[in-house]
Structure 1
Amino acid sequence: MNLLTKRFQRLAGKGLLIFSLIAALCGCSLEPGLLNETAAPPPQGESLLRVIFLDVGQGASQLLIAPSGKTMLIDAGNNDNEQTMLDYLHKYGIKRLDTVIGTHPDADHIGGMDKVIDETEVGNIYLPKASSNTKTFESLLKSIQRKGLKVKTAKAGVQLDLGEGIKIKMLAPVKSYEDSNNMSAVVKVTYGKNSFLLTGDAESQSEKDMLASGADLCADVLLVGHHGSKSSTTLAFLKAVKPRYGIIQVGKDNNYGHPTQTVLQRLKKQGVEVYRNDLQGTIEVDSDGTKLTIQTER
């Protein structure tokens, strides 16, 4: 048993075991817009749910700001994104995160989360029941411990609160898997007629089990699984989701070949309009409960 394993077990004994999954929004229609790179004031007009796909390079992070003012952060990019994440929170005026979700232990999803927890007031934190013997994961656990937070399990069936009118439910992981990607928390967010499905790095096995579970997967906006890897976004899953828009969180010139042509062609054939962080920077999708508006950084 190595030192990291012993440390993890000590933390786990203090109620810091890790779990997975979140839930999301439901809806339709959309109009492109332009996001101001230097400032991000709340949009004017009706009460909006803002779902912001932050540009963190070859990683993933989504910030949700509800009409109620409640906030949720799902993932926080890689280790070198710590200051970037703090800058984003400052830019969007975030002083408190009511809910934080780490979809799974991979560094490109939880790398910046330790600093976010250190520097921001946090209500609840959810992690899947998956661990990793890495310094990145250990650092996250230490930050959770220092803040006196108790980790709640992210798994299918968990429901979350972002205020009146918003329904958030975790659809995965449905069961336990050896592969940490398949342990990813998958969250469906519904606001009025609009919906979002945020999938982390969930791969084909998790997708298959979500389909078998009978969960309502239909969503207007799909966070394309695993940065557009061919191991995710199977045709059966895509047909069940029936998204109008697909968001791919991916970095420029990455070494993984993400997003793959296989997935891009599959999305195209299904009539999905694709937005990508590597091409358009931060992508914000706003919902008034009836229609969607998309703003991009570039």
Structure 2
Amino acid sequence: MNFIKATKMKFLILILLLVVLSGCTDAKVSNQNVSSSSNLKVHFLDVGQADSILIQFPNGETALIDGGNREDGGFVVGYIKKIGINKINYIIATHPHEDHIGGLPEVIKNFDIGKVYMPNKTSNTKIFENLLKEIKNKGLKITRAKGGLSIIDTDDLKFTIIAPNSEKYDETNEYSIVNKLIYKNTSFIFTGDAERDSEEEMIKLGYNLKADVLKVGHHGGRTSTNYEFLKRVNPRFAVISVGKDNDYGHPHKEVLERLNRMGIKVFRTDELGTIIAASDGHKIDFNKDVANNNMVKNKKDNKIFYIGNKKTKVYHVPTCKSLPKQENRVIFHSREEAEKAGYKPHKNCIE
């Protein structure tokens, strides 16, 4: 009997050791399908040559960092509604350029909003006026963003502002709000369009910049993601929000070379469409089969074809600035296919 009891006791001790050890894994970053058990999700929305990032926090709250261009408002609203969100707890307008705040007035009109964070930088543009108007219409107040300001601060979840850190900059991009998100053993940095001056300030002020995922600054522009800043972040993965064949040549080859030299895996919205990262606090999973919301590629020759508008019966090249809303799009693999279906070419982008 004593032998049986001793055997049982050894077995119980072994089980307890396995349970304890299983809870002590280091953070890992993998490139697998997004798991339904993940409780933090970061959506890098495909808004072309613009920025919009939706965050679903494990505490049930949500944040939206930027809203793309003006014409992206409907897409951003539709995307958020489709995944069942009716309240955005934190709106973060990184800086007052149209490709970052353009869709936010539409978002504010359509959702219950908690807090709005903006830098101490104004603009005389119509879209900036519209944003302020919608904020006022909802009875919201603007919280001025500055480095060191905490948005969420719990043991397992921290969402903070680490820039801007000065009152005056020569470039509007430098006013960009930069956020760091930590969930247990995983972390992200979202940089807006912050450039060299802001990056150097963050280094000088001693912020802990280490992160697993970096949202590359200014769509991959050469004046952002400078080498010293990149070394401090030392990410495993980088996400670039950028439009295909854009007029700026983004992402610049210098930035891609910096990322490549450090062995950082790069995800680009112009190549992959909307990119989703999910974290259980110990590992980060990226969706492998990301859908390209704007284009369809031929698997054989990798060419991009035509996007038709179901309402106007007009077809466009994928880089056209007058593309229809997502729900009105139809894909054609050739001009002949489009015209057989009764569609006419768009005069500005094709003829």
- TM-score scaled to structure 2, two decimals? 0.73
Q: Deviations over 1:86-122 (max 9, x none)?
A: 1111122110001110000000000000010011100
Q: Does 1:62 align with 2:53?
A: yes
Which residue of structure 2 lines up, in the alignment, with residue 96 of structure 1? Answer: 87
For structure 1, the residue ranges without an aligned partner over 5 or more in a row are 1-26, 36-42
Distance (Å, rounded) in 2 between the aligned partners of 1:297 and 1:153: 36
Instruction: Give, as a single letter, the amino acid of the residue that structure 1 aligns with 2:284.
Output: L
For structure 2, the residue ranges without an aligned partner over 5 or more in a row are 1-25, 293-351
Which residue of structure 2 lines up, in the alignment, with residue 51 of structure 1? Answer: 42
Distance (Å, rounded) in 2 between the aligned partners of 1:31 and 1:191: 16
Instruction: Identify the match of residue 167 of structure 1 among 150, 155, 158.
Output: 158
What is the RMSD of the two structures over their aligned residues, measured on CA atoms?
A: 1.4
Instruction: Identify the match of residue 273 of structure 1 among 260, 265, 270.
Output: 265
Contact kept in structure 1, 2:163 and 2:178, CA below 8 Å: yes
Report matched runs for 1:114-193 at 5 Å.
114-161=105-152, 165-176=156-167, 177-193=169-185
Contact kept in structure 1, 2:186 and 2:279, CA below 8 Å: yes
Q: Does 1:223 align with 2:222?
A: no
Q: Deviations over 1:117-150 (max 9, x none)?
A: 0111000000000001100100000000100000
Distance (Å, rounded) in 2 between the aligned partners of 1:44 and 1:233: 32
Instruction: Give, as a single letter, the amino acid of the residue that structure 1 aligns with 2:88.
Output: L
Q: Deviations over 1:181-228 (max 9, x none)?
A: 000000000001100000000000100111001000000000000000
Contact kept in structure 2, 1:227 and 1:258, CA below 8 Å: yes
Distance (Å, rounded) in 1 between the aligned partners of 2:285 and 2:74: 28
Q: Deviations over 1:59-90 (max 9, x none)?
A: 00111001221100000000110111111111
Q: Does 1:297 align with 2:291?
A: yes
- Compared with structure 1, are the counterparts of its residues 284 and 203 closer, same or farther at alpha carbon in structure 2 (3 Å cutoff)? same
Which residue of structure 2 lines up, in the alignment, with residue 195 of structure 1? Answer: 187
> Which has the greater radius of gyration?
2
Contact kept in structure 1, 2:152 and 2:160, CA below 8 Å: no
For residue 297 of structure 1, report the CA deviation from its aligned partner. Answer: 2.5
Which residue of structure 1 lines up, in the alignment, with residue 31 of structure 2? Answer: 32
Q: Per the alignment, in what secondary structure is the counterpart of residue 30 of structure 2?
A: strand
Q: Following superposition, which runs of at least 4 residues in structure 1 exceed 2 angstroms of deviation?
A: 27-35, 161-165
Contact kept in structure 1, 2:33 and 2:285, CA below 8 Å: no
For residue 31 of structure 1, report the CA deviation from its aligned partner. Answer: 2.4
Instruction: Give, as a single letter, the amino acid of the residue that structure 1 aligns with 2:149.
Output: V
Q: Deviations over 1:147-203 (max 9, x none)?
A: 000000111011012876210111100112131100000000000110000000000
- TM-score scaled to structure 1, two decimals? 0.86
Which residue of structure 2 lines up, in the alignment, with residue 82 of structure 1? Answer: 73
Distance (Å, rounded) in 2 between the aligned partners of 1:283 and 1:163: 27
Q: Per the alignment, in what secondary structure is the counterpart of residue 42 of structure 2?
A: strand
172-181 or 94-103: bigger deviation: 172-181
Instruction: Give, as a single letter, the amino acid of the residue that structure 1 aligns with 2:236.
Output: R
Instruction: Give, as a single letter, the amino acid of the residue that structure 2 aligns with 1:243.
Output: P
